[in-house]
A and B are shown apart, each in its own frame.
Chain A
Amino acid sequence: MNSPWVTASALSTLLFSSVAASAVLPKVQTDNQWFSNAQQTVTNKTKQVNKSKAKNVILFVGDGMGVSTLTAARILDGQMKGNSGEEGYLSFEMFPYSAQVKTYNVDAQTPDSAGTMTAMMSGVKTDIGVLGVSEKAERGNCNSVAGNELVTALELAEIKGLATGVVSTARITHATPAAAYAKSADRNWEDVSDMPEEAVTQGCEDIASQLINFEKNLEARFPGVDVDGIEVAMGGGRRHFLPKDEAANSADAASSVEGDRTDGRNLVTEWQTQYPEGQYVMDQAGFDALDASSTSKVFGLFNESHMQYEADRANDIAGEPSLTQITTKAIDVLDNNDKGFMLVVESGRVDHGHHAGSAFNALTDTVEFAKAIQAAVDNTDPEETLILVTADHSHVFTIAGYPKRGNPILGKVVAVGETEPTLASDDMPYTTLGYTNGRGYRNLGDETNADATYNDDPVVGRQDLSQVDTQSSGYHQEALIPTSSETHAGEDVALHASGPGAHLSQGVIEQSVIFHIINKSLGLMANN
Chain B
Amino acid sequence: MKNLMTLAFTLGSALLASSAQAQSCANDKLYLSANYEISQRVADSHTRHDSHTHEHAHDKGQSFNKQQLVLHRYNNQVVHMYPDSHYGDWWTKTANNRLMLNRFFPDNQRVIEYQADELSSKISWQSKYQLLNSDFINNMVVVKETGTGCEQSQQRALTQGDYSYQLTWLPKWSLVTSYQVFRGDEKVAQWQLVNYQVNKKHIADYIAKLSDYRATDYADIGDNENDPFLAKMINQGFVEHKATGFYNSQGDNISKQHSH
Contacts and interface: CB of A to CB of B under 8 A. Distances in A.
B129 to A, nearest CB: 15
20 contacts: A251-B95, A252-B95, A254-B94, A260-B215, A306-B217, A317-B95, A317-B96, A317-B116, A351-B222, A352-B219, A352-B222, A451-B114, A451-B218, A455-B120, A455-B241, A457-B48, A457-B236, A459-B260, A483-B225, A485-B221
Given A315-B121, A484-B230, 9 more contacts: A112-B223, A113-B223, A129-B226, A175-B223, A255-B100, A317-B95, A452-B120, A457-B235, A485-B221
A129 B230 CA distance: 16
Interface in B114-143: 114-121
B149 interface: no
Interface of B: 48, 76-77, 92, 94-96, 98, 100, 113-121, 207, 211, 214-215, 217-219, 221-226, 230-231, 234-241, 260
B96 A255 contact: no
B148 to A, nearest CB: 34
Interface string A221-255: 00000000000000000000000100000011111
Nearest to A113: B223
Contacts of A452: 118-120
B19 to A, nearest CB: 27
Contacts of B113: 305
Contacts of B217: 305-306
A457 B241 CA distance: 9
Contacts of A148: none
A464 to B, nearest CB: 11
A288 interface: no
A255 B92 contact: yes
Most buried by A among B48, B117, B121, B224: B117
A73 B114 CA distance: 27
A188 interface: yes
A487 B94 contact: no
A456 interface: yes
Interface string A116-135: 00000000000001000000
A77 interface: no
Nearest to A175: B223
Contacts of A459: 260
B117 A456 contact: no
A299 to B, nearest CB: 21
Interface string A302-340: 011110100010011100000000000000000000000
Interface string A437-449: 0000001100101
A179 to B, nearest CB: 13
A351 B220 CA distance: 10
B226 A454 contact: no
B203 to A, nearest CB: 12
Contact-size category for A: 35 or more
A451 B219 contact: yes
A486 interface: yes
Contacts of B226: 129
A316 B95 CA distance: 11
Interface of A: 112-113, 129, 175, 187-188, 193-194, 244, 251-257, 260, 303-306, 308, 312, 315-317, 349, 351-352, 354-356, 443-444, 447, 449, 451-452, 454-459, 482-488
B222 A316 contact: no
A487 B234 CA distance: 14
Q: Determine the main DSSP class of B at the interface with A.
A: mixed
A256 B117 contact: no
Nearest to B77: A256
A350 to B, nearest CB: 12
Contact of B234 (A244, A351, A484, A488): A484
B221 to A, nearest CB: 5
A312 B219 contact: no
A349 B92 CA distance: 24
B130 to A, nearest CB: 19
Contacts of A455: 119-120, 238-241
Nearest to A463: B260
Nearest to A454: B218
B177 to A, nearest CB: 28
A484 B92 contact: no
Contact of A306 (B96, B120, B219): B219
Most buried by A among B115, B117, B222: B222
A254 B225 contact: no
Nearest to B222: A355
A423 B114 CA distance: 37
A251 B118 CA distance: 19
A429 to B, nearest CB: 18
Contacts of B214: 193-194
Nearest to B117: A315
A341 B59 CA distance: 75
Contact of B117 (A187, A354, A449, A487): A449
B115 A304 contact: yes
Nearest to A244: B211
Contacts of A354: 222
A244 B214 CA distance: 13
A355 B221 contact: yes
